[in-house]
Chain A
Amino acid sequence: MLSKKSKWVVLLVMALVMVLVVAGCNSGKGDAGKTQGSADNKQAQETKTVTLNGAGASFPYPLYSKWIAEYRKVAPHVTIDYQSIGSGGGIKGITEQTVDFAGSDAPMKDDQLAKAPGQIFHIPTVMGAVVITYNLEGVKTGLKLTPEVISDIFLGKIKKWNDKAISSLNPDLKLPDKDITVVHRSDGSGTTNIFTDYLSNVSKEWKEKVGKGTSVEWPVGIGAKGNEGVAGTVKQTPGGIGYVELAYAVQNQLPYAFIKNQAGKFVEPTLDTTTAAAAGSAANMPEDMRVSIVNAPGENSYPIAGYTYLLVYKDQKDKDKGTELVKFLWWAIHDGEKYAKDLLYAPLPDNVVKLAEARIKQINYQGEPLYK
């Protein structure tokens, strides 16, 4: 049975090679990447197989993997490859045109965009939130913190857990006379970018002294590698406080703080409050969609959140690839969004999906829009 089958496969492959050779001889130039599936019996109509290469941010990688697997069922002739090499690598790849699309947790800066050979579009896919976790004996989830207190802790100005600034926010908790040990990411990361973006937004002193970025010069604290490093270090250090991705905190049942938002409410970090932050800031969304949603307005908005983007060129160079890329993007922001919550990503609110749609419709091949 098996050997018969494999013989058949060999025959099929040989036939395919023959067809290719003949086709190559006839046309004179073999077209790599586009093989005619004429030997396939089931697929009567000729569909071109297309491979889309992507690389970039590691934060959305689990979701993108799921999307790629699901999209394969929708469009079997499209192979999508996404390598999680980091946002920096993704931006480099799209600028140098070594990938068809890139992933990035932070929008590209103006000078980076200027270096690219064409106009790059930012298509938001999902949001992530950053939560503040801590190690305090007897204190579970729900420590209340304000933007001022958070920035003072990470600036090293509040040094003890029983500082009045903290205890006055949490009158029902008994906070110990313990040193605060700040833990931050030592590796460059989108998580750090969102968190320092938030601190720069709420504290003038932070903005001037430290600023925002994927790696910054931290005024105080222990550096640990990755979400797991920060979580592990906080766990090992009584009195420790650090920041991790919401998804990581939920999966590992870490305690996290409720944070006062712009509307003055203490908000629990959840997928819904993250989506609310995006919805709240959608009114101020610029056309190019490069926007920070930290400290977003809205009663229910969790203030430390950010988009992750797919980066694509507005003017596509290859019609087949461009067509499939546009189809995939459209699928991702509509059908793809329903896989987000299971994997602990916050899906786009409807008003942002509308804005992204408008952007995708502008992607074109030689002036002709690729969306149909």
Chain B
Amino acid sequence: MQMPSPKSRRWGDSLFRGLTFLAALGMIGLVMVIAVQLIRGSQLAFTHFGLGFVTGSRWDPVHGAFGSLPLVYGTIVSSLIALLIAVPLSLGIAIYLAELAPHWVRTPVSFLVELLAAIPSVVYGLWGVFVLVPLVRTALEPFLQRTLGWLPFFQGTYYGFGMLAAGIILAIMIIPTISAVSREVLLAVPNSQREAMLALGATRWETIKMAVLPYGRSGILGAVILGLGRAIGETMAVTMVIGNRPQISPSVFELAQTIASIIANEFSEAFDELHLSALVMAGLVLFVVTLLLNILARLLVWRVARAPEGVTRE
């Protein structure tokens, strides 16, 4: 093999840099194109409703009244319920697999968790309709109403379908993402951190709590954001169990609707131009909501990353 001359090597480097730069630029371009396209497509709805589209709460294709507030509400609340369930569970899985599990358990369990991520969402949806929903209706919801019925979240009639079922389905769908990424983050924590804690006489639990988790928290937060992203954009599984009713109700038993779900439902048969435009504008709202959440998350990650790493002060 001949070594390339320094000159040609430099040429290769700059070519490589140029190519990767183009790839990155393409990504930015793609986002711009999507944004421009969404804005153009929603012109008609914007001139009709203005900002009232965001604050309005009626969605009536027949009479041409479109407001997306219940959709935004449904999107955010269903995702939050999912996070509420998924984050503690996923962290538990990640900590066990990274820190505590014996070797022969680690591989098969990690494999099974990651397998969950490969199941198509329509399968989750079907499972939701035929297994989860009856379970929620006959067991979970009556139980919640009996024990916590004094809270506004657990009141009213229940159908099984609704916000709660959607939150649970989403939680199951994002657990693999959050737990797999968190596990990698925890595995990347240097052993010196653990050894130092143990040398100070800490127990296993104290080591995890005070050395491992604080070290990996920005990475874990990143994992949660990834999960949130998936939950917000999920369409098929949600639409099959959420009940598809655009309304705002404090009760998680009630039916709801999300932006992604209404677009998938109504787009193909939207005859009217205003209807079509309103659906595109709903997409724009989703785009903005996702953007805002990502910015928020980014700020959070920066804050956390800046804080001193390692042992927290008690």
Please report A residues at the B interface, Cβ cutoff 8 Å.
85-89, 91, 106, 109, 112, 179, 181, 186-190, 210-218, 221-225, 229, 232-233, 236-237
Q: Which of B58, B157, B159, B269 contacts A187 (CB 8 A)?
A: B269
With a 10 A CB-CB cut-off, give which of A189, A214, A216 has the most chain B CB atoms. Answer: A214
B48 in contact (CB, < 8 A): no
Binds A, one of B2-10, B20-28, B238-246: B238-246
- Please give, as numbers and ranges, the residues of chain B lying within 8 Å of A211 by CB-CB distance: 62-63
Tell me, in angstroms, the Cα distance from A217 to B61 when the chains sit together: 7
- A109–B272 Cα gap in the complex (Å)? 10
Are B245 and A222 touching (Cβ within 8 A)?
yes
Whether B62 and A223, one on each chain, are in contact in the complex, defined by CB atoms closer than 8 angstroms, is: no
Query: How many of B's residues come within 8 Å of A, CB to CB?
Result: 32
Q: Told that A213-B271, A216-B62, A223-B257 touch, could you supply 12 new A-B pairs with CB distance under 8 A?
A: A86-B268, A106-B271, A112-B271, A186-B244, A188-B270, A217-B59, A223-B245, A223-B265, A225-B244, A233-B161, A236-B130, A237-B160
CB B198 to nearest CB in A, in angstroms, measures: 53
Question: CA separation between A187 and B265, bound complex, in Å?
Answer: 4
B255 within 8 A of A: yes
- B60:A222 contact, CB within 8 angstroms: no
Bound together, the chains give a CA A355 to CA B59 distance in angstroms of 39
Contacts of A87 in B (CB 8 A): 269, 271
- Does any Cβ of A come within 8 Å of B133's Cβ? yes
A216 x B270 contact (CB < 8 A): no
Q: Which of B62, B129, B243 has the most CB of A within 10 A?
A: B62
CB atoms of B268 and A89 under 8 A apart: yes
Chain A residue at smallest Cβ distance from B239:
A225
Task: Evaluate contact between B243 and A213: CB separation under 8 angstroms.
Answer: no
A216 CB contacts on chain B under 8 angstroms? 60-62
B13 at interface, CB cutoff 8 A: no
Distance between B137 CB and nearest chain A CB, rounded to angstroms: 8
Q: Using Cβ atoms and an 8 Å threshold, which residues of chain B touch A85?
A: 268
List of B residues within 8 angstroms of A213 by Cβ: 61-62, 271
B229 within 8 A of A: no
Rounded to whole angstroms, the CA-CA distance of A225 and B137 in the bound complex is 20
Q: B255 is contacted by which of A215, A217, A223, A229 (Cβ under 8 Å)?
A: A223
What's the minimum C-beta distance from B124 to chain A, rounded to whole angstroms? 14
Kindly list chain A residues whose C-beta atoms are within 8 Å of the C-beta of B160.
Answer: 236-237
User: Which of the listed residues B134, B137, B159, B160 has the most CB atoms from chain A within 10 Å of its own CB?
Assistant: B159
Question: Is B266 at the interface (CB under 8 A from chain A)?
Answer: yes
Knowing A211-B63, A215-B61, A236-B130 touch, does A223 contact B243 (C-beta < 8 A)? yes
A/B interface sample: 19 pairs, CB < 8 A = A85-B268, A86-B268, A88-B270, A186-B239, A186-B265, A214-B61, A215-B61, A215-B62, A216-B60, A216-B62, A217-B62, A222-B161, A222-B244, A223-B265, A224-B240, A225-B239, A225-B265, A232-B130, A237-B161
Contact in complex: B161, A88 (CB < 8 Å): no
The 4 closest A-B pairs by CB, nearest first: A188-B269, A223-B244, A186-B244, A86-B268
State A209–B257 Cα separation when bound (angstroms): 21
Contact A189 B269, beta carbon cutoff 8 Å = yes
- Asked if A88 contacts B60 (CB within 8 A), the reply is no
In the complex, what residue of chain A is closest to B245 when comparing beta carbons? A223
**B199 shortest CB reach to chain A, Å:** 57
- Smallest beta-carbon distance A228→chain B, Å: 9
Residue in A86, A179, A229, A233 whose CB lies within 8 Å of B269 = A86
Residues of B within 8 A of A186 (CB): 239, 244, 261, 265
Complex contacts, B261 vs chain A, CB 8 Å: 186
Q: Decide if A225 touches B240 in the complex (CB within 8 Å).
A: yes
The interface residues of chain B lying within 8 Å CB-to-CB of A106 are 271
User: What is the bound-complex CA distance between A43 and B161, given in angstroms?
Assistant: 60
**Chain A residues with CB under 8 A of B159:** 181, 222, 237
- Chain A residues with CB under 8 Å of B269's CB are 86-88, 187-190, 214-215
Interface string of B48-85 (1 = CB under 8 A from A): 00000000001111110000000000000000000000
